[in-house]
Structure 1
Amino acid sequence: MDRNAPSSVIATDTSMHKTVAHPSKAQIRRWRRYLAEEISEAHIYSVLARRSSGKEAEILQEVANAELRHQNHWRALLGEHAHPEPRPSASARMLQLLAKNFGTVFVLALAQRTEGRSPYAEDPDATEAMAADEAIHEEIIRALSTSGREKLSGNFRAAVFGANDGLVSNVALIMGIGASGASSSMVLLSGIAGLLAGALSMAAGEFVSVRSQREMLDASRPTQVTLSVAQDLDINENELVLIYKARGMSDEAAHHRAMERFGRLDCDCDPSLSYNPAMEEEDAPQEHGALGSDIGAAASSFCFFASGALIPILPYIFGLGGTFAMILSLVLVGIALMGTGAIVGLLSGASPFKRGVRQLAIGYGAALATYLLGLLFGATVG
């Protein structure tokens, strides 16, 4: 390294133990962008760590510390070009705002996508360790997002998909009715009927679905019969052992548990065989946390289907009619479909834009099909 070279044109990569002489303007811009992203990510993870507790908070703070190490790498390369400190992008600032004011589920979902798009693996100025860090960070954030996604995926699933179904089914209905030449009042009446019929059907279907699933889980749950009838069983036949074997226990463990039930053992042997009163239903299938309640799922389905189905008929409610009302209805539905698709994409770790476009294509495709049918039947009747 030329010790007489001006510091403004020499950057040192302390992680790779090399120097980059005379970095180009493009390199400086790219490094400053990376630095801004690392500053933003460290800030976001630190905020989320403060809003969390226990192990999750510790993990988030460790990830934030890793981002600080990455910052030091780019600061070393930039030298004096690291000042003034670069400002995060608009999207990064928005994510910081979300982290400060809202829950972690949506923020972690966005952070997961950010980590997954890291360019370090292809950038020669980033170290292999940094690229590996970013890949690991994506998996860490994915794991932390799992529990939040599961909590949302019960009633939230019914809500989002209920709204989407309302949007698609009712816009298709009114497009078909409108294309047939029916009056605006008839289109509005049809839309209201479609809203009520669909919302009630969705609520009933969701209620039956969730209730049936809960009933199946309850039917598989072990009862307390081993406590109530153990004293009356023939210890020589010992059918109690069969219960525990049917629940998946080994022969030895089943026999040991039965002897405990008969009061013949007060075990100080292998702890794995000993009875634990807190685990009376240790072999019971557990209800999945994402299932949600039947009433909650039904109410969410009704309300969100109705809210979705309301959007296509808004122009008719306000007295509009004809082609203009149909076009405005399609525009409003398109915006809503993009929104629901983006939310689903965000929570699933996929591209919100691509999921939004997919929902839009599905909705408009259904509307086009019924519109063409409406034209056909209108011409036939005429």
Structure 2
Amino acid sequence: MSSEAPAAEAHEHSHADVSGGWLRAAVFGAMDGLVTNTALVAGVGGGGAPARTIVLSGVASLVAGAISMALGEYTSVRTQNEQLDLEVEKERRELERNPGGELAELVQMMQVRGVDADLARQVAVQLHRDPDVALRLHVVAELGLNPNDKPSPRVAAVSSFLTFATGAVVPLLPYLLGWSVLWVALLCGGAGLLAAGALSSRFTPRSWWFAGLRQLLFGALAAGVTYAIGTAIGVTAT
């Protein structure tokens, strides 16, 4: 009988996107598009505007909002990546100028995580033999970000553009299909908010009904405020 311990069985598994890439941009874009245009339709329609004006305002908001979201996401993610690059270079210089101090820092970080002092030093010394490995470990430990796993600004921009436009068109559908009734448009917007919130729960520990109702509540609040303002302005203007 062999005295060797059985090897641990490896199980393949994957994780969701948590780096702030396409998922965050997609969820933000869809929710923003739905809330923005549902509230806009409520405000303009509450003011007594004709269907043509509501459609024109909604389409203009869709185009302008989608472009703004895409440019904002691109700039935001690009700036975040550039800041990370700057911090990586700062850490690289520290490793070159003060290798002993950085080694001691890694030993201390491993001890804080429960590794015995002697073992922590042995592992740290071995890891520091490869400058790239040492750099990556220090950046991940100190910044909580992996320099080799940065989100793509282009993916974030395209994702936010498409999802904002998709969300923004939902409350306009009745008007675009020739059914110019305000409450139907608001109902479509509400259904879209409920569905988008429920879908987002797939990436969180929240239940689908909680996430859906929460987003519906936010949208209803925004639509209610803009409807009241639109009604007040419409009465004053007439």
Asked if Structure 1 and Structure 2 have the same fold, meaning a TM-score greater than 0.5 normalized by the shorter chain, the answer is: yes
Q: Would you say the 8 A contact 1:166–1:308 is kept in 2? A: yes
Aligned residue in 2 for 1:285: 139
Whole-angstrom distance in 2 between the partners of 1:245 and 1:198: 52
Larger-Rg structure: 1
Partner of 2:37: 170
1:29-44 correspondence to structure 2 within 5 Å: none
Does 2:72 correspond to 1:205?
Answer: yes
What TM-score, normalized by structure 1, do the two folds share? 0.49
Call closer, same or farther: CA 1:224–1:350 in 2, change over 3 Å.
Answer: closer
Correspondence 1:218 to 2:85 = yes
Partner of 1:304: 163
**How far did 1:222 drift?**
3.6
**Aligned mates of 1:149, 1:296 — CA distance in 2:** 13
Cα gap change, 1:198 to 1:240, in 2 (>3 Å): closer
Number of equivalences:
208
Task: Look up the equivalent residue of 2:11 and give its one-letter code.
Answer: E
2:98: which partner in 1? 243
Residue in structure 2 matched with residue 150 of structure 1 by the alignment: 18
Query: Aligned pair 1:273/2:121, yes or no?
Result: no
Change (3 A) 1:350 1:282: closer
SS of the equivalent of 1:334 reads helix
Amino acid at match of 1:276: D
- How far the C-alpha of 1:240 sits from its partner, in A, is 8.0
Shift of the alpha carbon at 1:56?
3.0
Separation in 2, partners of 1:241, 1:372: 63
Where relative contact order (Cα < 8 A, 6+ residues apart) is larger, the structure is 2
Kindly report the root-mean-square deviation, in angstroms, between the aligned alpha carbons of the 2 structures. 2.9
Report the equivalent of 1:55.
10
> Cα gap change, 1:347/1:225 in structure 2, threshold over 3 Å: closer, same or farther?
closer
Q: In the alignment, which residue of structure 2 is the partner of 1:373?
A: 229
**2:11 match: secondary structure:** helix
Residue correspondence of structure 1 range 69-108 to structure 2 within 5 A: none
Moved over 4 A (4+): 223-226, 286-291
Cα displacement (A) at 1:302? 0.8
Indicate conservation of the 8 Å contact 2:91/2:139, yes or no.
Answer: no
Deviation at 1:213, TM superposition (A): 0.7
Q: Aligned match of 1:343 in 170, 181, 199? A: 199
CA distance, structure 2, for counterparts of residue 351 and residue 245 of structure 1: 49
Alignment of 1:256-271 (within 5 A): none
Q: Are the counterparts in 1 of residues 70 and 156 from structure 2 also a CA contact under 8 Å?
A: yes
Q: Which residue of 2 aligns with 1:83?
A: none
SS at match of 2:10: helix
Q: Which of 24, 28, 32 pairs up with 1:161?
A: 28
Moved more, 281-290 or 310-319: 281-290
Give aligned-pair identity as a percent.
Answer: 37
Equivalent of residue 362 in structure 1, options 198, 218, 237: 218
